Structure 1
Amino acid sequence: MAVSFHVRSNSYPSRQHPQAVHVDEQLTRLRSSEAASSSSICQTLSNLQDLHDSLEKMIRLSITNQALSQEQIEKLLDGSLKILDLCNVSNDALSHMKEVLMEIQSILRRKRGDLSSEVKKYLSSRKTLKKSFQKVVKSLKVCQNKESLDVFGEAEAVTIALFQSLFSIMSGSKGCAKWSLVTKLMNQNRVPFEGEANEFTVVNLKFQSEKSLKIEDVQILESCIQDLEDGLESLSKSLIKYRVSILNIL
């Protein structure tokens, strides 16, 4: 189902409200950030968690929940559910990659086993992930009219852009590298991932030349995956709390 951001901004607290100002500041920081490696993605995930914690506080403001219509509440719930789905898709992909990496690490440690077969399995899984991520990204349509976006809509757009970047890192996809509509929407001139190396692509290159592959390389990538999983778990918890606050309005 396509993501929709057509929520009337005049139904929410003024952008001069202290909590709204705080959210705007967080959005500005997220829009100006670059995510070229798993470590910067982890930091962005942490910033996204802070953003949704702030949105949750805004939802609980009486000035907000008294103004929300049934339709607007449903749109907020729909948007938060889509982001939770993106968290689940990312976690499933990371979990699969980690399983293969653990087997490769075991073969390298014991110095016996079919390393070529496992490496091919890993590289094949990357291609599969790329196709599946591209399909997910195509299903996400962002409203191109910036004037129709309030802080909630902008938060959703920035969050989707982050996941496009995360998908690009994990799959090595160049198609997701430019933040597409979200970049244009937010008038950003900085383009993340443009030919920049990250832990996934570095190890991917070494996998293509098995002789240069070391157990330390696999361990570094496995550690990066674990950090991303931890970040996604924390973000998911904030999203669930956010959804509960929206439901409490009903």
Structure 2
Amino acid sequence: MAVSFHVRSSSYPSRQHPQAAHVDEQLTRLRSSETASSSSIRQRLSNLQDLHDSLEKMIRLSVTNHALSQDQIEKVLDGSIKILDLCNVAKDALSQMKEGLMEIQSILRRKRGDISAEVKKYLASRKFLKKSFQKVLKSLKTSQNKNNNDALAVFGEAETVTIALFETLFSFMSGSKACGKWSLVSKMMSQSKVTCETDANEFTRVDMEFQSEKSLQMEDVQNLESCIQDLEDGIGSLSKSLIKYRVSILNI
């Protein structure tokens, strides 16, 4: 659905506000992203940061202020809190996994210490995190906003694509052969096809190597650590944009 804030004048016809048009373009770009690879997820995190930066600018427009009721503002705030909670869950999980990988690499470099015990500890942590991710995925309930007010609809769509990204992220971090978890977006945005990423990702490869008890591929461990760092950076930047976004909503 296009955002329809309009500017009127006595000499020109009604037209879409430039900031609203920019948000429309960003939403379209995010809805068209379907693959679930580390690079695509990092790019979508960056795109989501840009989207919420744009929404923050739009929320400060007087036309937006007047278009939103108190009840609608509360709904937008509730949605932003839900997303910030997802950011925190993801950051905590990534930090825990990175810590385990760093300890394993330290033992391998020093060639002393119980590497088997650390690997088992890492795999036990992964098992616990996978269960946590499944609980989070089950709890993600986003219903289509039936409010015809376009000012509210755009924020609802932004929440939808953001939560869909976190569904993809948690599935990716679980190491599953996963669809990009864009079925929610597909259903709500009337898209007919979701592309799946079936190749093993960075998390899966390291899990398989640790579980097989064969010689560890340090390159794969380092690639996973680098992947985790990139995801942490992307989520951290998105969190900062979300906080700024919430401040602007609270100032209405």
TM-score range, shorter chain: 0.7 to 0.9
Q: 1:34: Cα distance to partner?
A: 3.0
Hey, what does 2:9 align to over in structure 1? none
Match of 1:207 among 198, 205, 210: 210
1:111 aligns with 2:103: no
Paired position in structure 2 for 1:221: 224
Q: For the residues of structure 2 that align with 1:244 and 1:72, how far apart are their CA atoms?
A: 16
1:156 aligns with 2:156: no
Q: What is the match of residue 99 of structure 1?
A: 99
Match of 1:188 among 187, 191, 194: 191
238, 246, 251: which is aligned to 1:248?
251
**Displacement after TM superposition at 1:201 (Å):** 1.4
Give the aligned partner of residue 83 of structure 1.
Answer: 83
Q: 5 Å matches for 1:31-70?
A: 31-70=31-70
Q: Which runs of 5+ in 1 are unaligned?
A: 1-8
SS, match of residue 23 in structure 2: helix
TM-superposed deviation, 1:124? 2.0
One-letter amino acid of the counterpart of residue 231, structure 1: G
Partner-residue secondary structure (3-state), 2:16: coil
- Alpha-carbon shift at residue 110 of structure 1 (Å): 1.8
How far off is 1:238 after superposition? 0.4
Show the counterpart of 1:17. 17
Return the offset for 1:108. 1.4
Question: Higher Cα Rg: structure 1 or 2?
Answer: 2
Cα deviations by residue, 1:156-184 (Å, 9 ceiling, x for unpaired) = 00000000111011112457753343331
Query: What is the rounded CA distance, in whole Å, between the counterparts of 1:91 and 1:126 in structure 2?
Result: 14
Gaps of 5+ in 2: 7-14
* Alignment TM-score, normalising by the size of structure 2: 0.87
2:12 alignment counterpart: none
- Normalising by structure 1, report the TM-score: 0.87
- Following the alignment from structure 1 to structure 2, what is the Cα–Cα distance between the partners of residues 45 and 10? 22
What are the Cα deviations for residues 82-129 of structure 1, in whole angstroms up to 9, with x where unaligned?
A: 101100000000000011101111121122222222222222222211
- Over the matched positions of the two proteins, sequence identity in percent amounts to 78
Structure 1 range deviating more: 165-174 or 90-99 = 165-174
The one-letter amino acid paired with 2:56 is: E
Does the CA-based 8 Å contact 1:12-1:64 persist in structure 2? no
The Cα of 1:138 is off from its aligned counterpart by 1.7
Distance 2:64 2:27 in 1: 19
1:156 alignment partner, SS class:
helix
Native 8 Å contact 2:45 2:234 kept in 1:
yes
Aligned Cα RMSD in Å?
Answer: 2.4
How much has 1:154 moved relative to structure 2?
0.6
Say which is worse superposed, 142-151 or 129-138, in terms of deviation: 142-151
- The answer to whether the Cα contact below 8 Å between 2:52 and 2:241 also exists between their aligned partners in 1 is yes
State whether residues 175 and 201 of structure 2, in contact with CA within 8 Å, keep that contact through their aligned partners in structure 1: no
Q: What letter is aligned with 2:233? A: D
Maintained 8 Å contact 1:23/1:51: yes
Aligned to 1:239: 242
| Residue equivalent to 2:10 | none
- In structure 2, distance between residues paired with 1:188 and 1:111: 52
Query: 1:199·1:221 contact (CA, 8 Å) conserved in 2?
Result: yes
The total of aligned residue pairs comes to 241
Task: Give the Å deviation of 1:153.
Answer: 0.6
Encode CA deviations 1:225-249: one digit per residue, 9 max, x unaligned: 1111111111011001100110110
